[in-house]
Amino acid sequence: MKLAVVEGDGIGKEVIPAAIEVLDSLGLDVEKIPVELGYGKWERTGSAITDEDIDTLKECDCVFFGAVTTPPDPNYKSVLLTIRKELDMYANIRPIRPLPSVKGIHERNDFNFIIVRENTEGLYSGIEEIGTDISTTKRVVTRKGSKRIADYACKLAKSRMNKLTIVHKSNVMKSDKLFLDVSRQSAIDTGVLHRDELVDSFAYNLITSPWNYDVIVTTNLFGDILSDMSGALVGGLGLLPSANIGEKYAFFEPVHGSAPDIAGNNRANPVAAILSLKMLLEWHGDLAEAAIVEEAIDVALNMGICTPDLGGKHTTSEVGNTIAKYIRTKM
């Protein structure tokens, strides 16, 4: 596998090396191509991402990404938006699974669900008219966009509990009727058990009874909000991985940002990045390796090897090192 590795800025420079140590411990045949992107590069060269960088990303099988800082400078071109657009990554996948020894908001930890968020249209279409007295944003739902995300979610559901929840607000926004109809049809065609819920009552149900869900498919804005909210269920930003998937490209990154407040101290939690690596391995078909990475994370946390955000006293590199060491004993 040819892997583009982007550390980026801030704690990206700490969590990615820890995750790469874990990758190396697996002994897979991986060619790593380092790509410098982000604010640091912008300060140094005047551009955060170049056309050549995009070509390099496209030449790789997939991208493993840390985090980039986005300054409030109008001349700064957002790295993530550029990549998402260039690589046409339509599906944003966020699995929410509690980890041992980490408390979320519930006593029960027998839940494990995945939010599949449409990543290219909906209320983030970017079609806007801004005025002094009236400003509008156009909510775009297409049959093609809905079908590809619903098909993805159904395929995922089939590999799990075969349970899909379609989240929408079609009673108020008629554009969601198309999303709902297409999603239902996709579930029927693929034989996936499905139900639908209105987003408002769904938000209540998800946070109070997360154990009732398996795969959730929804439109862009709802997915954005629901997945950040779900972070509360597992106890922190340092634990949430994500994948961005397109027809041709795939991109894996922790949900958290560059956290400038703690950067440079070797205290960022690398688990979100290492779980993103696990998703990358699954996507690539290295299922046994993905399973051992997950097991190794559980072992380290159970041993109390964790960073200060989880109440531990270990460094980023110590956590990565412990996980990599455990894997080496198993390979």
Chain positions contacting ligand ATP, by CB under 6 A: 11, 15, 67, 69, 237-238, 256-262, 268-269, 272, 307, 309
Q: Name the residue nearer to ligand ATP (CB basis): 30 or 297.
A: 297
Q: Name the residue nearer to ligand ATP (CB basis): 15 or 115.
A: 15
3-state secondary structure the chain: CEEEEEEECCCHHHHHHHHHHHHHHCCCCCEEEECCCCHHHHHHHCCCCCHHHHHHHHHCCEEEEEECCCCCCCCCCCHHHHHHHHCCEEEEEEEECCCCCCCCCCCCCCCCEEEEEECCCECCCCCEEECCCCEEECCECCHHHHHHHHHHHHHHHHCCCCEEEEEECCCCCCHHHHHHHHHHHHHHHHCCEEEEEEHHHHHHHHHHCHHHCCEEEECHHHHHHHHHHHHHHHCCHHHCEEEEEECCCEEEEECCCCCCCCCCCCCCCCHHHHHHHHHHHHHHCCHHHHHHHHHHHHHHHHCCCCCHHHCCCCCHHHHHHHHHHHHHHHC
Question: How near is the Cβ of 10 to ligand ATP at its closest, in Å?
Answer: 6
Picked from Mg ion, ligand ATP, none, the partner binding residue 154 (CB below 5 to 8 A depending on kind) is none
Picked from ligand ATP, Mg ion, none, the partner binding residue 67 (CB below 5 to 8 A depending on kind) is ligand ATP
Torsional class of 316: left (φ above 0), alpha (ψ -120 to 50), beta (otherwise): alpha
User: Does 257 help bind Mg ion (rule: CB under 5 A)?
Assistant: yes
Q: Name the residue nearer to ligand ATP (CB basis): 165 or 321.
A: 321
Question: How near is the Cβ of 228 to Mg ion at its closest, in Å?
Answer: 10
Picked from Mg ion, ligand ATP, none, the partner binding residue 218 (CB below 5 to 8 A depending on kind) is none
Question: How near is the Cβ of 234 to ligand ATP at its closest, in Å?
Answer: 13
User: Does 38 help bind Mg ion (rule: CB under 5 A)?
Assistant: no
Question: How near is the Cβ of 315 to ligand ATP at its closest, in Å?
Answer: 11
Picked from Mg ion, ligand ATP, none, the partner binding residue 116 (CB below 5 to 8 A depending on kind) is none
User: Does 270 help bind Mg ion (rule: CB under 5 A)?
Assistant: no
Question: How near is the Cβ of 290 to ligand ATP at its closest, in Å?
Answer: 20
Q: Name the residue nearer to Mg ion (CB basis): 264 or 304.
A: 264
Question: How near is the Cβ of 226 to ligand ATP at its closest, in Å?
Answer: 17
Picked from Mg ion, ligand ATP, none, the partner binding residue 29 (CB below 5 to 8 A depending on kind) is none
Using an 8 Å Cβ cutoff, are 284 and 243 in contact? no
Q: Name the residue nearer to ligand ATP (CB basis): 186 or 258.
A: 258
Binding residues vs Mg ion (CB under 5 A): 257
